[in-house]
Amino acid sequence: MKKTVDAILFDLDQTLVDFLAMKRYSCRAAIHAMIQSGLHLKPKQAEKQLFELYDRFGIEDPQIFQRFLRKTQGTVNYRLLSKAIAAYRKAQPKVLIPYPNTRAVLLRLQKKGLKLGIVSDAPRLKAWTRLAEMELEDFFETVIGFEDTKKLKPNPAPFKKAVQKLKTSAYNILFVGDNPQRDIAGAAAAGMKTCWAQYGYPAQYFGKKNTGKKKISPDYKIGSFAALEKLVQRINSR
């Protein structure tokens, strides 16, 4: 059977956007604002404790600054909390930008008739909002978020949900993601072709090494988003 790709699904964070760079920049702005308002911690110490909480409660935790203040101050000081939230929100748009060539490649793929979608562990509204902030929302026919299946990657459920939404065969879908253990393993389990976005992976886990885990072998690898277009052409020309 000839291998063809008529749809592409993407992970969002670290695949379309350097989300972790944005997170660090915005959190540093929040920490600076709290210190300026009376938080008695050194910046590096505060950042370390904040990201330990992210590691524990998840990168999408909406209560992260409350948890941080309880941990470091014993209580939630709402003046400090408001300063943190305001500074974070102000900083975020400055660095929430797509990887180089993302818009141009998505446009050409869309013009070629390929269906495009997102499978993210983020809540659906947050995923759509990030896309809208980057002005990428019009490229995607569907966005699968956490609440669509209540399952996190690598569970195949969100991937299979995306197949239903795109109304095509999993065999004809290429999934592009940065995390082998979650994205590649989950998409492969759902029957999709897989492409490892290597350019987004080194920043994962906030510097922690991904050790002691089963090695995952993707079907394809790309070192930049721009390389995706040629990869699809190569697959479809076979």
Count the Cβ atoms, other than its own, within 10 Å of residue 45: 11
- For residues 43-58, give the mean pLDDT: 96
pLDDT at 211 over 60: no
Task: Tell the burial category of 110 from Cβ atoms under 10 Å away from its Cβ (0-12, 13-18, 19+).
Answer: middle
Q: What is the CATH number of domain 7-17+97-236?
A: 3.40.50.1000
DSSP character at residue 225: T
Which of residues 228 and 20 earns the better pLDDT score?
228
In angstroms, what CA-CA distances link 147 with 8, 17, 64, 97? Answer: 21, 22, 20, 25
Distance in angstroms (rounded) separating the CA atoms of residues 65 and 91: 15
pLDDT in the model for residue 58: 87
Domain ranges of the chain: 7-17+97-236, 20-95
Class of CATH domain 20-95: mainly alpha
Q: What is the pLDDT of residues 180-208, one digit of tens each?
A: 999 999 999 999 999 999 999 854 443 34
pLDDT in the model for residue 227: 97
Q: What is the pLDDT of residues 76-108, one digit of tens each?
A: 999 999 999 999 999 999 999 999 999 999 999
Q: What is the pLDDT of residues 27-36, one digit of tens each?
A: 999 999 999 9
Fold match flag (7-17+97-236 vs 20-95): no
Q: How many residues does the chain have?
A: 238
pLDDT at 214 over 80: no
Which of residues 59 and 39 earns the better pLDDT score?
39
The pLDDT confidence band at residue 212, using thresholds 50, 70 and 90, is: very low
Q: What is the pLDDT of residues 124-173, one digit of tens each?
A: 999 999 999 999 999 999 999 999 999 999 999 999 999 999 999 999 99
pLDDT at 1 over 60: no
217: left (phi over 0), alpha (psi -120 to 50) or beta: beta
Does residue 42 sit in helix, strand or coil? coil
Residue 27 amino acid letter: C
pLDDT in the model for residue 205: 41
69: left (phi over 0), alpha (psi -120 to 50) or beta: alpha
- For residues 12-36, give the mean pLDDT: 96
Beta-bridged to residue 116, according to DSSP, are 8
Distance in angstroms (rounded) separating the CA atoms of residues 120 and 124: 8
pLDDT at 222 over 60: yes
Residue 16: CA atoms inside 13 Å, Cβ hemisphere, count? Answer: 29
In angstroms, what CA-CA distances link 47 with 39, 42, 195? Answer: 12, 9, 33
Beta-bridged to residue 142, according to DSSP, are 117
pLDDT in the model for residue 208: 44
Count the Cβ atoms, other than its own, within 10 Å of residue 212: 5
The pLDDT confidence band at residue 225, using thresholds 50, 70 and 90, is: very high
